Chain A
Amino acid sequence: MTRSRIVGLALLGALLVVALALPYLGTTSYVISLVSTILIAAILASSVNFLVGDGGMASLGHGAIAAAAAYGAGWASKMGMDPGMQVVIAMGVTLVVSLVYGLLSMRTSGIYFLMVTLAVGMVVFGLAYRLSAVTGGENGITGIQRPAFIGEYWTYYYFLVAAFVLTTLLLWTVSRSPFGSSLRGIRDSETRMRSLGYSVAGYKLGAFMISGTVAGFAGLLSVWHTHFVSPSSAGVHRSVLLIVMVILGGVGTVLGPLVGAAVVVLVENVLSNEIERWPTILGLIFILVILFARAGIVGSIAKLAAKLTRRSTSRSPGGGSPPGTPVSDRNHTAS
């Protein structure tokens, strides 16, 4: 284990301790609720991050997958079902929607993938908006209750911390597995993997199902947090924000989604009280990051840290990758 890896793990541990201690640090329920929102957004963003980082597939439809799951839970709640059935229906809807996305997009890559996911996402939005018998139309569905054992805001907060850690671990494991390696192979050269006998479409479908399931889970968590779902949650705007989070944090990094989600949620919820034109600010931050800090916040810090450690120790050049670097190169282009 290299030194940078130890530093990275120590950082992760410290972060987890802070997260666990947060409710005891005299924070208000507003702060806890805000951090909960960040955690949910981070789970959703990490599902996108997995697909972009390992698969090279930038999806502009993940917001709609999460919304579909949220609508599943909302509809179950409206029908008077208990939270257990909410979970079943939400995850069932997630699987079906992810399968539709996956089947339509598995033969595409790059720009086409982006557009297909965008278009399917808009269809989900359209259905949420128009199919008012099921979705409640423009008003959405309100009054969705989460299970009793996580009813309190702070118990739910701990539940979310656990959910974030688990999904991050899950995605990390998948990414390190042979499946993840093959996926990166497909990202880097689809033709080469095809000639080696890999079913490229199959791998892409598989990756999408994994990512979609995580996204749907995040959607369920979000509806349990806000007790409310409306068509705007399925809009392309949300999916775009997810990509913004992933790029801001750093594509393919483990903590990137969390950092990106924190920035976006804080701009959206806190800065918006101060500055009316926050979408402009967000758009400008986004453009600047793409132009000047392609590795994102976490990626850039990791790069900087790697440079510093190399200078101070000057032994074993390139000794281990710094914490949170992408699994291979930081190739953003979905070739």
Chain B
Amino acid sequence: MTRVRVLIRPKAGILDPAGQAVERALPVLGFEAARNVHVGRLVELDVEDPSRVAEMCERLLANPLIEDYEIVDPAAATGA
């Protein structure tokens, strides 16, 4: 089994009120200069065949109309 991570975020250009709320909250705590904050989801899964994860994303894990997904290369993720 291979551990795969999928990062899902709102498509660029679609209003992301959750990201905006976080962006507005950061200066209140004294963190300046955070821009383009977006809030998404992380899906982790162990799979036999990582080549099928893109299809999983298209059909269930993401809604491609409103979300972009990024499949994180497992080898790169472990820093190998």
A and B are partners in one complex rather than unrelated chains: no
